[in-house]
Structure 1
Amino acid sequence: MDEVFEQLQERIHHRFGQVKLLREAVTHSSYANEQEEPMPDNERLEFLGDAVLELCVSGECFRRYPEADEGRLTKIRAKLVKEKSLARLARDISLDACLRLGRGEETQGGRGRESLLADALEAVFGAVFLDAGFEAARACILGLLEDRWPEEADCSDPKDHKSRLQEVTQRHFRERPRYFLSGASGPEHEKVFEVTLRLPGGLVFSSTGGSLKRAEQSAAQAALQHLAGQGLD
């Protein structure tokens, strides 16, 4: 296991002064609970590492994309720190091979579980922070994310009209659009929802859909088309 820890430290480009912190970061509660003597698991470090990660990524987003508004910065950050992305990064540095799991968790495939991998990676970030401070944690995090930043700030799904509309209204009006459920009709298995969308300034758009989400997206699309005709896009 010591050799595995050595390799992990090389991959994250951080040499621990307190190796016990790294051991704690890769210790799942299932493993700790099986030991005769009480030992810490990685849940507290995960809590800390989550906050450190978000701060580091937020700061780098702010620096890299000076023209991006709050909505776009939030999307970029969310894409980088979501569970699937963190789990992929954990596999890339072979963190899965370093995990200390209980017998039951190991048997049930815990070593490949995305939530477990993401939590362990955040715990490693928390451990680096405690071991050497914020700048060391920042260097570790940004080093691992270096080739994962989008080239452009616009990461939006072109079909996500609600998100796009929010970006437009925040940019031009400094406010968000508001959605109201106006009504619903039809049998439970074929219900039709009617949504009213109110833009900053009072403009109102209505739409229907087979789900509340679809009705909102349709209303947002209509509002976007109107705003684009006014030169606001």
Structure 2
Amino acid sequence: MIKGQSKLNNQRLAQQIGYQFKQPELLQLALTHRSVSHKSNYERLEFLGDSLLGMIIANYLYHAYPHENEGRLTRMRASLVRQEALGKIANDLNFSQYMIMSTGELKSGGHHRESILADTVEAIIGAIYLDCADLEHLKKIVLNWYVPYLGHIEPTDQLKDPKSRLQEYLQARKKPLPIYEVTDIQGDAPNQHFKVTCQVKDLPTVVGQGSSRRFAEQTAAAEILKLLEQKTA
């Protein structure tokens, strides 16, 4: 059996990525690994998506960091588009459960392999662009995926996720670790929306929301980091 090949649910994935495909065959192609077909797979879409992602992130950084030089902007972009970073995005959006691959690739854990997850993110970006033909719309979708990671990005960060950065910050100051709690789940699995609270000593409780528990926790941790930055400013 090939994972995801039967009953590919465009509606289910649409909520995860924030886009409803008019041509669902593009989404299916973007999710199809070369182990299924050497001719009809995500590789061409990945090529397109790679270029689009680089442009979207470069444009964001250019405007968000007007005083940074070219060298630092280049390193910041690299940290946001590298394989590790895209693997985190794919996990946030639960892409692994939708990927279409051979039984052998599936058994070997291919749907959890960072390189394949990263390729899939780029392929889906390419597919969205071809489907909507609207670069501004694509920018909004992609930057929304990056929301937990754009609040505090440095050239040496290598896209450490907000939960990791928050934990390191608190541990370095010998403070209690954050407490995360799911307070609300709407919808039926896997088409769900999560609300998660994050509590840190001496700070207000914040709420994070997202299409997965992981994404909601990352969003909440990012908000706590903003509070800590304001407190120390």
> Which TM class, normalised by the smaller chain length?
0.5 to 0.7
Q: Distance in 2 between matches of 1:103 and 1:3?
A: 16
| 2:54 paired with 1:49 | no
Query: How many residues are treated as equivalent by the alignment?
Result: 151
Q: Which amino acid aligns with 2:139?
A: R
Look up the SS of the partner of 1:68 in the other structure.
coil
Match of 1:21 in 2: 26
**Any residues of structure 2 matched to 1:134-153 within 5 Å, and which?**
134-151=135-152
Q: Which amino acid aligns with 2:152?
A: E
The alignment's TM-score, normalised by the length of structure 2, stands at 0.61
In structure 2, list runs of 5 or more residues that go unmatched.
Answer: 1-5, 158-233
**Any residues of structure 2 matched to 1:60-79 within 5 Å, and which?**
60-79=60-79
Q: Distance in 2 between matches of 1:14 and 1:142?
A: 13
Bigger radius of gyration among the two: 1
Q: Distance in 2 between matches of 1:104 and 1:67?
A: 50
Q: Which has the higher helix share?
A: 1
Shift of 1:103: 1.4
Shift of 1:150: 4.6
**Any residues of structure 2 matched to 1:183-202 within 5 Å, and which?**
none
The worse-fitting range, judged by mean Cα deviation, of 17-26 and 39-48 is: 39-48
Q: Distance in 1 between matches of 2:107 and 2:123?
A: 23
Shift of 1:75: 1.3
Deviations 1:39-84 (A, max 9, x none): 6100000000000000000000001001111111111111111101
Residues 33 and 100 in structure 2, CA contact (< 8 A), matched pair in contact too: yes
Cα gap change, 1:66 to 1:2, in 2 (>3 Å): farther
Q: Distance in 2 between matches of 1:19 and 1:147?
A: 28
Match of 1:205 in 2: none
Look up the SS of the partner of 2:35 in the other structure.
helix
Shift of 1:18: 0.6
Q: Distance in 2 between matches of 1:151 and 1:113?
A: 27
Q: Which amino acid aligns with 1:132?
A: C
Match of 1:113 in 2: 113
The alignment's TM-score, normalised by the length of structure 1, stands at 0.61
Shift of 1:2: 4.5
Q: Distance in 2 between matches of 1:59 and 1:52?
A: 11
Structural RMSD (CA): 1.7
Aligned mate of 1:10, from 5, 9, 15: 15
In structure 1, list runs of 5 or more residues that go unmatched.
Answer: 34-38, 158-233
Q: Distance in 2 between matches of 1:62 and 1:11?
A: 28
Q: Distance in 2 between matches of 1:79 and 1:8?
A: 26
Match of 1:125 in 2: 125
Q: Distance in 1 between matches of 2:37 and 2:49?
A: 20
Could you tell me the percent identity over the aligned residues? Answer: 34
Q: Distance in 2 between matches of 1:3 and 1:105?
A: 18
